[in-house]
Amino acid sequence: MVYRKAPKHSGDAPDSSANPADRPASTGKERRYQGIGSAKGFAIGETYEFVRETIEHETADLSPENIEGEIERFMTALHRSEKELKKIERVTTRKIGRLYSDLFQAQIMLLKDPVLTGNITRRIRQELKPAHIVIEQEFGKLLEHFLNSDDVIFRERAADLHDLKERIIRNLHIRKLHSWVPEGSIVVSHHLSPADIILLSRSNIKGFATDTGGKTSHVSLICKSLNIPIVVGLGNFSQKAVSGERIILDGNEGLVITNPLDETVDTYLKKREEESKREADDSIMAHRHAFTRCGVRISVYSNIDFKEEIEHLDSMGAEGVGLFRTENLFLDDLKPPKEAAQQEYYRKMGEMLAPKPLVIRLFDIGGDKLIYSPVKEPNPNLGWRGVRILIDVPEILDAQLQAVIRANIHGNIDVLIPMISSVEEIMHIKQAVEEHYKHIRSLTTEPLDKPGIGAMIEVPAAVELIDEITQIVDFVSIGTNDLTQYTLAVDRNNLIVQDLFEKFHPAVIRQLHRVISTAQKNHCRVSLCGDMGSDPLATPYLIGCGLREFSIVSSDIPALKAMVGKYTVEECEALAAECLKLSSASAIKAHLEAFVKAH
């Protein structure tokens, strides 16, 4: 990789304070570019454009006498790649712990995979093809399953495989890894890898802006851990950016402003000052229980993807884990994890949290995401996914349920069933839990609690059946992202219709009220684990509907706790009643905005 050299700064790299360094000379008209804010925060500084080098490859077949030399070149590239990844792994561990350093360890393990390397060396010998061509083709087989997925999480994980492939090919050409950029820059690029983020962050980078990427990519998650704002999904912004120009990066709104006017800069400096004060106030709230102004207790849990996140939950004020997404265990080895490995993983999590609760969502995977499966569906989001796969492929379900049951030695683990659309699906899982629990109990004299069973409410069919569902499960958890998507028939990752994805649509807020009120009537616990739980506008409405449990991103917990204390239940109930009468999202949002502003 290489970088376009940025123009020299006239002084020190600009910092984020209100001083002249925040105001490099404007070189043109102020322009705004909308993307997706993946890690919150503001940055003001100068652009540094990151561009990858295009390597010219030899395409002619090898002569027999060059075969061994080509294989040796390939093995040297693997060795160089491993050294680089070990260095990046060490830096990652030092900066943010082992939470994401395991990502690079997984890449190192793939480098040593005898099947992959054996296939590549065999084909070089047999087909007389240059190493880079065979590498492209072999990695292409792995990448195809991920890139063709309709699930954004899996498409973004494909980027990690692509980056490993590019690293090996670069090292075939003995190209040096560069990672220096001017201190305090805002890096703009078409694409950034997790390794890029880790290495560039050593230069105290203020922020990142990329054409590609999404909220759930490793790049975005690492930036959150590093507290560096990033805006992704900017289209072709990198082609328009100019190194050295003044830029504002707004990770809260997903906005990039080039050549901002002085008054725009002043606005953002004021915003940052207000946010710093708010964060300081919120941090005090993090270590307190959340109560409404009238004294009603609100419980706040965390959504997590890795067990390593647990050690940071206390500092954020989480009262446990309301949603642990297990799909990352599936992805690490590109195949279903073994029961023993799952049991150990869940046991450690339960132990770290005890006596706080841990809700483990069963694998929420789709047909095109099972890389060993021949199934290719035209619309996987409406196809073979979630609980449907768990029922149809019992070995996956059985291994996970047995692992959870054996891991539940502290009695604080529950399971959550994804993508429920019928009562029969719940009964199938309940019966499987009962059978596995009885069998495992017969094999041990140690106390072992049966995990509670919850259902994800994320499709309209589940809302229609909410009365029956809340009578047969221990709890329900509302996934507002998918519920909104399926209710409005809008793919939230489709840029063409993304503006139609409206969480305050009357149909959505009425469904939320119905689910929450019905669960309360049937004495069934109910929580909400979608992005809506972190939205300040939604908080009073949800409390007014009767919601008393939120499960959200850890970093948003202090702000939610502070928000809860501003309202009484009575005024929130009145607000919810008014919103339920309104027939447009704009009217509902206006009503919520006026309420929040008044408090």
DSSP assignments along 406-467, one per residue: HH-TTS-EEEEE-S---HHHHHHHHHHHHHHHHHHHHT--S--PPPEEEEEE-SHHHHHTHH
pLDDT in single tens digits along all 599 residues of the chain: 333 333 333 333 333 333 434 444 445 689 999 999 988 889 999 999 988 766 666 677 888 888 999 999 999 999 999 999 988 888 888 777 666 777 788 788 888 888 889 999 999 999 999 999 999 999 988 887 776 665 556 666 677 888 899 899 988 876 655 567 888 899 999 989 888 898 888 888 999 999 988 776 778 878 887 889 999 999 999 999 988 999 999 998 899 999 999 999 999 999 888 887 777 777 777 788 999 999 999 999 999 888 878 988 988 899 999 999 998 786 555 567 899 999 999 999 999 999 999 999 999 876 444 444 545 666 666 777 789 989 998 999 999 999 999 999 999 999 999 999 999 999 999 999 999 999 999 998 877 899 999 999 999 999 999 999 999 999 999 999 889 989 998 776 565 766 788 999 999 999 999 999 999 999 999 999 988 999 999 999 999 999 999 999 888 899 899 999 999 999 999 999 999 999 999 999 999 999 999 99
Ligand-binding site membership of 155 (annotated): no
Interatomic CA distance for residues 44 and 13, integer angstroms: 11
Q: Which of 3.20.20.60, 3.40.50.450, 3.40.50.2000, 3.20.20.70 would CATH assign to domain 326-457?
A: 3.20.20.60
Ligand-binding site membership of 4 (annotated): no
Instruction: Write the CB contacts of 248 (distance below 8 Å, at least 6 apart in sequence).
Output: 42, 43, 44, 255, 256, 257, 260, 264, 265, 268
Closest CA to 231 of 256, 206, 197: 256
Collapsing DSSP to helix, strand or coil, 394 comes out as helix
Q: Helix 394-407 to helix 423-442 angle, to the nearest 10 degrees?
A: 50
Q: What is the DSSP letter of 584?
A: S
What's the pLDDT score for residue 18? 39
Ligand-binding site membership of 202 (annotated): no
pLDDT tens per residue across span 183-227:
889 999 998 988 889 888 888 899 999 998 877 677 887 888 788
Q: Which two tokens stand for residue 145?
A: 């399953």
Distance from CA of residue 24 to its chain's centroid? 34
Catalytic residue flag (residue 428)? no
Ligand-binding site membership of 160 (annotated): no
What's the pLDDT score for residue 319? 96
pTM value > 0.85:
no
Taking CA atoms, 427 is separated from 171, 477, 478, 536, in Å, by: 54, 17, 19, 36
Interatomic CA distance for residues 589 and 576, integer angstroms: 12
Q: What is the DSSP letter of 482?
A: H
CATH 3.50.30.10 is held by the domain 2-53+180-262: yes
Q: Using H for helix, E for strand and C for coil, what is the string for 279-313?
A: HHHHHHHHCCCEECCCCCEEEEEEEECCHHHHHHH
Interatomic CA distance for residues 68 and 74, integer angstroms: 10
Ligand-binding site membership of 481 (annotated): yes
Collapsing DSSP to helix, strand or coil, 77 comes out as helix
Distance from CA of residue 18 to its chain's centroid? 33
Cis ω for the linkage preceding 194 (within 30 of 0): no
Q: Which two tokens stand for residue 191?
A: 């694409």
291-300+467-599: what fold? TIM Barrel (3.20.20)
Interatomic CA distance for residues 539 and 575, integer angstroms: 11
Amino acid identity, position 64? P
For residues 346 and 413, the answer to whether their CB atoms sit within 8 Å is yes
Catalytic residue among 132, 191, 218, 505: 218
Length of the chain: 599
Ligand-binding site membership of 458 (annotated): yes
> What does the domain layout of the chain look like in residue ranges?
2-53+180-262, 66-172, 291-300+467-599, 326-457
Interatomic CA distance for residues 475 and 359, integer angstroms: 11
How many of the other CB atoms lie within 10 Å of CB of 265? 18
Write b or e for each residue in 551-569: b if 16 or more Cβ atoms lie within 10 A of its Cβ, otherwise e: bbbbbbbbbbbbbbeebbb
Taking CA atoms, 573 is separated from 63, 467, 513, 560, 588, in Å, by: 79, 22, 11, 18, 14
66-172: what fold? Enzyme I; Chain A, domain 2 (1.10.274)
For residues 223 and 40, the answer to whether their CB atoms sit within 8 Å is no
Interatomic CA distance for residues 227 and 94, integer angstroms: 15
Amino acid identity, position 499? D
Fold matches, 291-300+467-599 and 326-457: yes
What's the pLDDT score for residue 2? 38
Catalytic residue flag (residue 191)? no
| Longest alpha-carbon distance in the chain | 84
Catalytic residue among 524, 529, 545, 579: 529
